[in-house]
Amino acid sequence: MTELPPPAHRHRAGGWKGRRAALVAAAALAVVTTVATVAALTLTGGSATPEAISPAAATGVPSAEPSIAPSPSPSPSPSASASPSASPPPATSGDCGRPVSAGPVVKTTQVTLPAAVSGYGNEGDTDPLPLAIAATPDGTSWLAWLGTNGKVYLGRLGCDDKLTGTPASFTAVDLQDVQADANGGVLLVTRAGTCGDTPLCGGESSPCRTMVMIRFDASGQQVWERQVTNLSDSRAGYDDGARFIWWYQHHGRLASDGANTAAYFGTAITVKNGACVDIHEGDRMQVVNASGGLVSGHKDAFEVGCSHAWTSRIVYDPRAKKFVTVCATDNACRIAQPNPYRTISAGTCDGTLFGGDLVLAKSAGYWTAWSQGNRVRLEHFSTGASDTTITTGASSQHPHLVTYGDGHMLLTWASGSGMAAQVYDSGSGTTVGSQFTIAAKDHNYQAFKGYADGSAAYPAAGGSGTTVTIARVQPLG
């Protein structure tokens, strides 16, 4: 028979139709930026309020809100302005000159879009992803969003996280990820495919899709595209040996080594069974070169790594010159490295086993976040079993982890109508400062991205179907 997805994610699975809910209706918002200094805030009872916190509330020291002009004061005399005792200008980092602080400072920016974004829906592992963001080397961003009209849009955000220019658009069923470099970047999207007429051994048919990389230039225009599933004119989704996107879990992520781009994603696997075929679910990693060609025989690529697989995560390690991948799987119910299987941490197939994100550790190895029974853990590993486990105070099924400047990483999770966050040392795994809040709506499967200037940004739902919130945690000093 056609295989059902495992209990670990079957209850979260769903078809392609009727799974998108509209974003919360509200009046259209002009672009507004708010800043919250949150260095000394400690959450009480594990809950977090979504409102931005003023510097005074966060530190207990009276301070004017940065978005409010200070009261007029007499101009200093020439001798006063030249005095050695005058306060130095605030420290900044990177081409965008973002302010550096001793503790995390959260900036949220409401951005009005020229085309509506798909709603958050049920946030299941088969539901479409609405938003993705990518960091450029100069500190600006590319924002991708899934429209409501069968297109994925791609727009440039300036240093102020506001949309500039006219976004490009690409035909797509679903958005997966976006990655950027100095010359443009790569989108990962799902597109329509063909199932063919081979009968299923059991179950119901569902549309067959392809996973496609789209290379774009500095103006957002397409340079090339490359399918990283394997459908063709001679191989449809229901043909033996097909690797395609079905209703099964299929979210994916991108990583780059500077010359090649790798895509790691969930995939459907077609296996002949007499006169019919069974459809299984696993994962797939493919590497594409700068010209859009598949890198045949790349040492880190694989046809299938984990099965069943969900929360596929990837990072490039320049120290070891390799792409590193991590999955959650019901094969022995664990967080694992695929191809071949190497257990990072043992879990339980009780429907609450979820993988978070994957980042480089400070000196060697990697950190990955994961959750079991709503308890979030951090694991440090190198080539197999975890050598350090951090049991965090976070209560969530879907933690997010991102590199946060030099020597730090940022763990975030849903809390109330916003997010909560904690900085960790990426060497020792110890906490840095107190927990703080981020006034942005969480999404189970979207990602924070780290920036060269030490900040980290996340795209979230806005106040209407045509607005989004960019939440940025500014650099630490």
Domains and CATH numbers, the chain: 7-43+98-473 (2.130.10.10)
CB 92 within 8 A of CB 99: yes
- pTM above 0.75? yes
Beta-carbon contacts of 317 under 8 Å, excluding residues fewer than 6 positions away, are 323, 324, 360, 366
Number of residues that make up the chain: 477
**Separation of alpha carbons 29 and 32, rounded Å:** 8
What is the pLDDT tens value at each position of the chain, 477 positions in all?
Answer: 444 444 333 333 322 223 323 322 332 323 333 344 333 333 223 333 222 322 222 323 223 323 323 333 333 333 333 334 455 667 888 899 999 999 999 999 999 999 999 987 778 889 999 999 999 999 999 999 999 999 999 999 999 999 999 999 999 999 999 999 999 999 999 999 999 999 999 999 999 999 999 999 999 999 999 999 999 999 999 999 999 999 999 999 999 999 999 999 999 999 999 999 999 999 999 999 999 999 999 999 999 999 999 999 999 999 999 999 999 999 999 999 999 999 999 999 999 999 999 999 999 999 999 999 999 999 999 999 999 999 999 999 999 999 999 999 999 999 999 999 999 999 999 999 999 999 999 999 999 999 999 999 999 999 999 999 999 999 998
